[in-house]
Amino acid sequence: MALTEPISDADGFESAIRMESGRLFAVAYSILRDVQEAEDAVQETMELAWRSWSTLRDPLKRAAWLRQICVRRALRLRRRVLPRLWLADRLDTDRAAPLQSDPDLDRSYRRLTRQQRAVIALHYEYGYTIDECAHLIGCAPGTARSHLARALTTMRKDLQNE
């Protein structure tokens, strides 16, 4: 079902949020790697989206618009969160947690910058093109390609050494 209800109505907003909340959580979690922080990012996304809901003109772009807000919120939250080790038993398995966790891969992923993690997650986990990733994180496509290349190089080195 596409998000095409009348944009200004509250029922349309609730419906859109209901349909996208799982995806929003997954995007936020892939950047933040913490369930509570991801939930906070989704909550802030909903608040910001509600404030601007009536200004959105194209109903077909609602899902992308919500995801863009969520990515930016998650990146902003990430700036405030101190780096920490993420324990697999803290994950909410009902949400975006992987079925099997590779500790070496997770450790390598956590060492990346927030922009590198965002591009990796958006490109490989969610299938966005590099241009779409760049638009979502607010940078030039060449910068997104650079983030992706550096992230892959860093992860290859980390995983070969372990």
What are the pLDDT digits (tens) for 82-129? 444 333 334 444 455 445 677 888 888 889 998 999 999 888 887 788
- Backbone Cα Rg of the chain: 16
Query: What's the whole-number mean pLDDT along residues 65-72?
Result: 91
What are the pLDDT digits (tens) for 14-28? 888 899 999 999 999
Do residues 71 and 50 make contact, with C-beta atoms less than 8 angstroms apart? no
* Region class of 85: left (phi > 0), else alpha (psi between -120 and 50), else beta: beta
59: exposed, middle or buried (Cβ count in 10 Å: 0-12, 13-18, 19+): middle
Q: What is the pTM assigned to this prediction? A: 0.53
Do residues 25 and 17 make contact, with C-beta atoms less than 8 angstroms apart? no
Q: What is the mean pLDDT of the chain?
A: 80
Spell out the domains of the chain, with CATH numbers in brackets.
1-83+91-97 (1.10.1740.10), 99-162 (1.10.10.10)
Give the pLDDT score at 1. 43
What are the pLDDT digits (tens) for 42-51? 999 999 999 8
Q: Report helix, strand or coil for 31.
A: helix
CA distances from 40 to 28, 47, 129, 152 (A): 9, 11, 27, 28
Query: What's the whole-number mean pLDDT along residues 120-147?
Result: 88
